[in-house]
Structure 1
Amino acid sequence: MAMGNHDARGKFDQVMQRDVNFYQQVRNVGFYFIFIQKGTPVSDKKVDIAMQFLRDNIHLSAGVEHVFIVVHYPVYSTGYFGAHPYFSKSLEVFLDANTDKKIRSVFYGHDHNFAAFQRNKQYFFDTGVGGGHITMMNKTKNGKERKWPSDSLHGPLVPINDKCYGYEHHLDSWLLYSRTEVEIAAGKIVYHVRDLVRDTILKSYEQIL
């Protein structure tokens, strides 16, 4: 289960989690946690450090079946803060250079809404808001060009500015309290977005391995 924004438990930092950049393995699943900012704007220097950490440590997950990357700041986003193209492009370069490393998807938050993107065979999830507030993008004052026409968006979107980087990969976005649940099965992974208010599965995304 990939908990939503600000859902850290215990003594973990809600944004950075345990450390700046670290690797954690749970049975046959490896997680790379990277950190590129605290607040905005994103630091390009922290992006470079995070990317170097991934390059230097990708070997740690050599024996696992599935690898996930977790970062607070979004890779692609339909939310208030939007994408940071330098980070997005840097991560794309890393992913394209490591297609054999079983990296299944990337989870993130910072923008307080749910969003799903797919580039090549990998998914990118703004995991939803389970512990913070919803930023109502249909009422935002963050520039009319990025205001949602309703409380949901579906399919590829037309980019207006650099905050919209990656919009061609967009699948769905919702303004709701939600979390993203991960179901690993034989030959596939299924990602469920759960509406926490109604306690129902809003949509599922199947990834054939």
Structure 2
Amino acid sequence: MSELTPELLLHGYSVGIFPMAEHRDDPEIFWVDPKRRGVLPLDGFHMSRSLAKAMRKSDLEVRINADFEGVVAACADRSETWINDEIARLYSGLHAKGHAHSLELWEGASLVGGVYGVTLGAAFFGESMFSRRSNASKMALAALVERLNRAGFVLFDTQFITDHLASLGAVEITRAAYHAKLEYAKDRQANFLAPEVLPLHEVMQRITQTS
């Protein structure tokens, strides 16, 4: 593939493709266009009783974009990852342009969980998440879904389905169905940064009240 720029990366998302590398040390990047796409319906997050209890009692603090590069690095810090140095650089470029964001969970001065992704119109393209505390990635995802709802988003693309995501409400749809949702979402307006940051217990209450 030709040299990627943040602008070309964003164009890829606008036509339904996204980049990956085979592994951390592979400098090559390729485009992916799955036949079946994972999405998490923004009105369909599954809040289990155990997760609700954990969020109600948690003292972890939610922050937005406090350490975007730290979230990307934490997501890449595993034995198998598709995030190489070039991908990390590109997403930092998108972040600087206001098209990539992180939602983070902090324990004091320690970053213990989070998720990051790309925004375009009213579509959020989830890239990766990590957890250094029990339930931290689930709580971050819950906080993200609640935020996307308040910010006016209509599409949460998870790219692929994992057991973890399926347990939280993610579903698989056809490529054609995904492209229809993308066309609708990318021409609408949403603002990831607009909503106030809510503590986890309020996130839990809002989700359980609307689900």
TM-score, normalising length from structure 2?
Answer: 0.29
Pick 1 or 2: higher relative contact order, CA cutoff 8 A, min separation 6. Answer: 2
Greater strand fraction, Structure 1 or Structure 2: 1
- Structure with a larger share of its residues in helix: 2
Give the TM-score taking structure 1 as reference length: 0.29
